[in-house]
Amino acid sequence: MLPRSLRRAAGLAAASLSVLVAGCGGGGGSDSATAASFSPAAVFPASAALANVCTVEGQKRWVRSYLDESYLWWDEVREVDSSRYATAAAYYDALLVKTLDGNGQPRDRFSTSMSTAVANILQGVPAAAGPAVAVGSASPVPFTSTLVSGGGRKVGYVLFNEHRQGAQDALITAFQGLKTAAIQDLVLDLRYNPGGFLYIAQTAAAMVAGPSVEGQVFERLTYSARRAADTARDVFHFSTRVTTAETTYPVGTALPQLDLPRVYILASQYTCSASESIINSLRGIGVQVILVGDRTCGKPYGFHRRDNCGQAYFPIEFKISNALGFDGYSSGFPVQCRVVENPLKALGATDEPLLAAALTHIDSGACPAGSAAGVLVESAIHSPLERAGAPASTDPMYQPGWDGRKLLN
């Protein structure tokens, strides 16, 4: 099986939907031997007053204050002896809340940190200065096609691998072609998609839906009780137009909307965060979402990016819910058709098991006979990453260091 440390991060800016939600996490765990009592009554200086003091101790002081201000579980943080940690990043990880949740998993298996250079690469953000760096080894939307099901229905297929900058432009172009083709059903392949910028998820969901989606709630962000003003502010709505521009399509561009009552999503344990936002937000407004493959990763949380002294920090800051108030998918969304992956079959081919199952369901309303628990299987010979269109195994989002969840992230 592919290592579950293969994840990517994403950063958020709450004033707009450039919030970034991604299936990522920091390695390591807290030192329980040095853990002290909870300290919600402790008073810390404002993190802004401590920023850019780049000694190790200065960075640690900033980390502690920033978590106290921003962390969703700020009042559950246990104090640890900061002198036991050689770096601010290690100290930060030791402070994260790892108590078990109702699913028996660490409450926080997603917060992470990394160098600002790595964060820029993973988010597709060009460096402000210095030599150019690669921001992705392949298109986030490798290909789109129009198929005909066995029953004669015209079906659009979109492979969507990453919610990084540039993905929105690629998706709009893809959906324009599908709208022109007058497809009757859509299969959105998110099996490799670990999440990313929330504005891209909002655009993707809006293009699946129709004009009546305008102004309806896309998602609500709920912060800690001490950040009630942020909770009241951060209610995001569907729009039929581009609200956050990338390169090709400016703000205000009308989106190509398919106006579909249902959508098929191909999913796996790597379908995470912003990808799950597409599922949850569409269900919140009454669009039927049929999942094929394997249970998703389960991340109804998000974060903002904050940099200090060359390190980017992504502590979980809020929980995400849809228009119906639903946020209960921390164990992942179950699929309607559980299908075993076959790495030897080409993505987008009608005999590829997940797509074939979706086509069967489109025609019959039922899953194919013999469906079983599906997983992304990696053998010594064949890997799901070896297929055309799949993210390369050398892609930054598949490198070690993103395994805060350990088991399913």
Q: Residue 152's domain is classified under what CATH number?
A: 3.90.226.10
Decide if 9 is inside a domain.
Answer: no
The whole-number pLDDT of residue 323 equals: 98
Decide if 359 is inside a domain.
Answer: yes
Mean pLDDT of 274-292: 98
pLDDT in tens, 140-193: 999 999 999 999 999 999 999 999 889 999 999 999 999 999 999 999 999 999
Confidence of residue 20 (pLDDT cuts 50, 70, 90): low
Q: What pTM does this model have?
A: 0.83
Angle at Cα 51 formed by Cα 111 and Cα 47, nearest 5°? 65
Decide if 112 is inside a domain.
Answer: no
Decide if 183 is inside a domain.
Answer: yes
Q: Which domain holds residue 162?
A: 143-300+319-396
Mean pLDDT of 325-342: 94
Total domains, the chain: 1
Decide if 165 is inside a domain.
Answer: yes
10 pLDDT higher than 60: no
SS (H, E, C) 370-382: CCCCCCCCCCCCC
Confidence of residue 251 (pLDDT cuts 50, 70, 90): very high
Decide if 115 is inside a domain.
Answer: no
315 pLDDT higher than 60: yes
The whole-number pLDDT of residue 345 equals: 92
Mean pLDDT of 5-13: 32
The whole-number pLDDT of residue 318 equals: 95
The whole-number pLDDT of residue 31 equals: 35
User: Considering only CA atoms, which of 305, 306, 310 is closest in space to residue 54?
Assistant: 310
Are 268 and 192 in contact by the 8 Å Cβ rule? The answer is yes
Instruction: Write the CB contacts of 103 (distance below 8 Å, at least 6 apart in sequence).
Output: 298, 330, 331
90 pLDDT higher than 60: yes
Q: What is the DSSP letter of 141?
A: S
pLDDT in tens, 48-83: 999 999 999 999 999 999 999 999 999 999 999 999
The whole-number pLDDT of residue 319 equals: 96
Element (H, E) at 318: strand 316-321
CA distance 119 to 164: 11
Instruction: Please tell me which residue, 292 or 26, carries the higher pLDDT value.
Output: 292
Q: What is the DSSP letter of 106?
A: B
Determine how many CB atoms are found less than 10 A away from the CB of residue 76: 15
The whole-number pLDDT of residue 409 equals: 23
Determine how many CB atoms are found less than 10 A away from the CB of residue 364: 12
pLDDT in tens, 107-148: 898 999 999 998 888 776 765 433 333 344 578 999 999 999
Decide if 387 is inside a domain.
Answer: yes
The whole-number pLDDT of residue 127 equals: 57
Decide if 29 is inside a domain.
Answer: no
- Written as six digits, the tokens of 366 are 């039922």
Confidence of residue 248 (pLDDT cuts 50, 70, 90): very high
